[in-house]
Amino acid sequence: MSNIKLPENLVKSMQELTPCVVATVDENKPYSTFISWLIAIDEQTLRMAVSSDAKTTTNIKKNPNVSIEVFDKDIAMSISGVANIIQDEIPTLPFPVSVIEIKVENVYDNLFPGGTITGKIPFTHTGNIEQAEELDRMVLEALKI
């Protein structure tokens, strides 16, 4: 087991929806996307949920190496590790969403001198807000099992 650990303030920040950028490998080229269904299980394990048919999920099946960029107040971290699909679909959801677990291998602090981040990546749901919030609740519940 690796002795690389996520900082305590980052683990604490990642207990609920964590907007982030996830990079995977697509035919030896980087592919990145924005997601919000990401949490820290502990100092060495992350879990995220991604549509089962998303390019990110397909890429992980072919090459499990991932990098995740997380931003929060005074935090700009690059986390790399190995991803594993631990659940093909969350049965309680109305469409197929996979649960992916990442074992942390490296953590890099990307804050530069003289600058800081003032908070998480801001985003808001559009459309049916209640339905989106219920979906978020169901996914977070599945990730924390």
Instruction: Render pLDDT for 90-129 as a digit per residue (tens, 0 to 9).
Output: 999 999 999 999 999 999 999 888 888 998 888 888 989 9
- Token duo for residue 81: 């590790």
Rounded to two decimals, what is the model's pTM?
Answer: 0.92
- Distance from C-alpha of 34 to C-alpha of 66, rounded to nearest angstrom: 13
Q: How many CA atoms lie within 13 A of 59 on its CB side?
A: 21
State which residues form the domain around 52.
8-143
Q: Is residue 122 part of a domain?
A: yes
Inter-residue contact 57 to 92 (CB < 8 Å): no
Q: Is residue 1 part of a domain?
A: no
Q: Is residue 2 part of a domain?
A: no
Q: Is residue 93 part of a domain?
A: yes
Q: What is the pLDDT of residues 40-79, one digit of tens each?
A: 999 999 999 999 999 999 999 999 999 999 999 999 999 9
Q: Is residue 3 part of a domain?
A: no
Three-state DSSP state, 65: strand
Q: Is residue 105 part of a domain?
A: yes
The pLDDT score that the predictor gives to residue 18 is 93
Q: For the chain, how many structural domains are there in total?
A: 1
CB atoms under 10 Å from CB of 9, counted, come to 13
Q: What is the CATH number of the domain that holds 26?
A: 2.30.110.10
The pLDDT score that the predictor gives to residue 114 is 86
